[in-house]
Structure 1
Amino acid sequence: MKTANTHGFDRTRLNRIGVWMQRYVDERKYPGSSVLVTRGGDEVYFHACGWRSLENDLPFERDTLARIYSMTKPITSVAVMMLAERGDFHLDAPVANFLPAFSDMQALVNGAERIDQVEPSVSPTLHQLLTHTSGLSYPFNPGVLARAMDEQDLMFKPNQGVLADMVNKVADLPLAFQPGSRWEYSVGIDVLGRVVEVVSGKTLDRFLAEEIFEPLGMAETAFSVPDGAGDRFASLYTPLAGDAMALNAAKSGGETLRLVDQAGSSPFEGASMYSGGGGLVGTIDNYRRFAEMLRWGGEANGHRLLSPKTLDFMMRNHLPGDIASMGPQSFAEQPMEGMGFGLGGAVVLEPGRARVPGSVGDFSWGGMASTFFWLDRRHDLTVVFFTQLSPSSSYPSRSELKALIHGALAD
């Protein structure tokens, strides 16, 4: 464990984080976890505890590889904005300009009970895909479209073929609502991953590796577990009796840490699907490099990925109000009241309404396996939390961790 009483933190209060993490392990809520806190570019706290594999008695360590699921979304959103900075498109462009399968769209009518109750719709824009206002959905959401997606298993899993084919299947279904009229967590960022491929002429894995991961030194972040990783790839667990992603049919089981996926038999060890919305695996230090690039304004290791002005733009609220004001019916990784949404992550508008300690402007997102990150530019702070338990809605660890961090700040 590393701790510090510098950089404006109280050492005794920082040590509460490790106690809290160990309690989650002792209570069999999480198998293991790690947290990394950086302020002003300097590491001020790291702690890991518990197990990356309960079955094999392997500890959760700093170099443990984890599924980051939806923490892939901010990375793909950065890729989109890199192309926008090059003048390859503007954000109000319809996605049909790049993916013809999204031409001649339809949307479900209000109150639809069947997938064929539709009306004509415009093609969603790139901006609507980035902000989850496109009318797309996820199979684990409630609603008619989500049920149809679930029946076809449109989840962009690592072993579900190639991205182009899956995106075309999504385009064959109607939208859940007219684009721009509501907020619903969706596969929109996966669709944008395909746009990145079409516009750049590179597969998404190549674009991310060459344009983001290599410049930032993120050598162990990819859609497949890196060669030579051995048993460092953590197992995934769930407290549910059924599918760890099937939130509509979630049933609690007697075992709080039921094994779902593990090294040696995981589809993440040879991915064919490059899911820009949820497909990456990596280490906590790798993700810290990405988060620090965002905090620093688009630059790291002497490489500039984005302009500081573009990062400011991304981390503003792009909704007319908070998420709650847009009538969401979907699962979300974050609170909805007092929270806006930028490009790739949530933005704190009012910590009091969100009921979680934080600063106005905090930018954050998490993944289905309960991973989480946020950056607080007011306090020059980045925090990355890794564990491997799905779904992320199982426990209130994210709000608890934010309270612990803010409780340790002395300035």
Structure 2
Amino acid sequence: MVRNRESGRYTGSSLLIFRDGQEAYFGCDGQRSVAQGLPYARDTIARIYSMTKPVVSAVLAMLMERGLVRLEDRLSDYIPGFADCHALLPGATDEAQVEKVPSPTLTQCLTHTSGLTYGFNPGLAARIYEREKVDFGPRMGVLADMCDHTAAQPLAFRPGTKWEYSVGIDVIGRVIEIVTGQPLDRVLREMVFDPLGMADTGFCVPAGKQARLADCYTKTPDDPLALLDPAGKSAFAEERVSMFSGGGGLVSTLDDYMRFGEMLRRGGELDGVRLLGPRTVAFMRRNFLPGDIASLGAESFMEMPMAGMGFGLGGGVLLDPALARMPGSVGDFGWGGMASTYFWTDPVERLTVVYFTQLVPSSSYPSRVELKALVQAALVD
């Protein structure tokens, strides 16, 4: 952490490691706000962006356990707008070059094989998303309307034929709302955050906690640590957040997210509270792809290596550390966020690791691979 700050990569960061259910390491370094001279602390609140995805995927798995959804259900079973899906033809140069395709399944949305995409990805479909403002940001309206808008855009490819990082789990968030009859923020609070004691995790930051929210920075050609959005903290004020993004909307703290990670590592239970059955968690952590991500021709933004890495329900699964060029155990499960945050659970070494910093994009530096190497090197028994 100190080296990252001293080299000018980040203004600061924090790290929490549990092994065998006990705290093995905690450290903070640097500043969560350079302008205000505020240090990173254990209770610093960070934007976790795509680390929201495993949480929402776990909730869908909970609904699956209750018999309320099936993973092979199609989006059109819940959101009528997805009943008439069209995908761009391979090599399409015009958005009129499409073919009618089946609606994506819930599994395909959870594993980024649905044909949905992100506006920052390469390709024609992403350019359409960018033009049409398919964006699940905190002030971009409400989830129901944005999902309908997303359904009106062509898919990047026929569902199930490729892997492309996408808004699929944002759409899963809407499915959860429809099944439960409640807004996603309330569902997550009642089904995950309250049972696990995650008091500082949510889609907004209450006024009394705003001072604990870290500033977010971005790497630009002119400034490696430019302030991303001077109004960024106020964007998370309770009265300003209208969109509950299941793919990237949450904020959290080290200890809160550690409780979620430890719940997964322990097979769905923590401190006597069971959210999921152990066999369901083992199912989530399996690779749902026919091979690794690289074998599906992935070209999109990816927060982890593609070779040697598979994908489970809402997170990456390490299949072959040598192919991934990343130390770790077969079966590691976790994911990161756009602001360079990261977590993983290791069933072999009985580890859960949560790392927070705030720099966009997460591809700026290979910090995650470096962190895994450091953690693996520290294990001597």
TM-score past 0.5 threshold: yes
- Contact 1:234/1:262 (<8 A) preserved: no
SS of the aligned residue for 1:328 comes to coil
Deviation at 1:230, TM superposition (A): 3.3
User: For each residue in 1:259-304, what CA deviation from the matched residue of structure 2 results, as whole angstroms up to 9, or x when unmatched?
Assistant: 0135775312231100000000010100000000000100113211
User: For residues 399 and 107 of structure 1, what CA distance do their matches in structure 2 show?
Assistant: 35
List per-residue Cα deviations over 1:174-217 (Å, max 9, x = no partner).
11100000000000000000000000011000000011000000
Candidates 233, 237, 251, aligned match of 2:217? 237
Counterpart in the other structure of 1:111: 91
Number of the residue aligned with 2:101 = 121
Write the letter of the residue equivalent to 1:88: L
Are 1:268 and 2:233 counterparts? no
Alignment of 1:3-82 (within 5 A): 21-82=1-62
In structure 1, how many angstroms separate the alpha carbons of the residues matched to 2:148 and 2:210? 35
CA distance in 2, matches of 1:224, 1:87: 31
Aligned partner of 2:136 in structure 1 is: 156
Mapping of 1:178-217 within 5 angstroms? 178-217=158-197
Q: Aligned residue for 2:226?
A: 258
Inter-partner Cα distance in structure 2 for 1:66 and 1:394: 18
CA distance in 2, matches of 1:235, 1:261: 8
Where 2:208 maps in the other structure, the secondary structure is coil
TM (norm. structure 1) is 0.91
* Amino acid corresponding to residue 222 of structure 2 in structure 1: G
Question: Residue 351 of structure 2 aligns with which residue?
Answer: 381
1:93 aligns with 2:73: yes
How much has 1:52 moved relative to structure 2?
0.5
Q: What is aligned with 1:226?
A: 206
Q: Which of 285, 288, 306 is the equivalent residue of 1:336?
A: 306
Quick check: 22-31 or 382-391, which moved more? 22-31
TM-score norm. by structure 2 comes to: 0.98
Kept in 1: contact 2:213–2:233 (CA 8 A): no
CA distance in 2, matches of 1:394, 1:353: 22
The Cα of 1:366 is off from its aligned counterpart by: 0.1
RMSD: 1.0
Deviation at 1:46, TM superposition (A): 0.4
Residue 363 of structure 1 deviates from its aligned partner by 0.3
Q: Distance in 1 between the 2:6 and 2:295 partners?
A: 39
| 1:286-297 aligned within 5 A | 286-297=256-267
Alpha-carbon shift at residue 41 of structure 1 (Å): 0.5
Question: Is residue 2:296 matched to residue 1:323?
Answer: no
2:150 corresponds to which of 152, 170, 186: 170
Q: Secondary structure at the match of 1:87?
A: coil
Write the distance in 2 (CA, Å) between the matches of 1:44 and 1:277: 30
Q: Give the counterpart letter for 1:329 in structure 2.
A: E
Which secondary structure state, in structure 2, belongs to the residue aligned with residue 47 of structure 1?
A: strand
Deviations 1:378-406 (A, max 9, x none): 11100000000000000000000000000
User: How far off its partner does 1:226 sit?
Assistant: 3.0
How many residues align? The count is 379
Residue 305 (str. 1) matches residue 305 (str. 2)? no
| 1:265 to 1:234, Cα distance in 2 relative to 1, 3 A | closer
Distance in 2, Cα, partners of 1:339 & 1:376 = 14
The code of the aligned residue for 1:161 comes to: G
Please name the residue that 1:367 is paired with: 337
| % identity of equivalent residues | 58
1:63-110 deviation line (CA, Å, top 9, x unaligned): 100000000000000011111100012111111000001001101011
CA contact (8 A) 2:215 2:233 kept: no
Looking at structure 2, the residues matched to 98 and 265 of structure 1 have their Cα atoms a distance apart, in angstroms, of: 34
Alignment of 1:410 onto 2:380:
yes
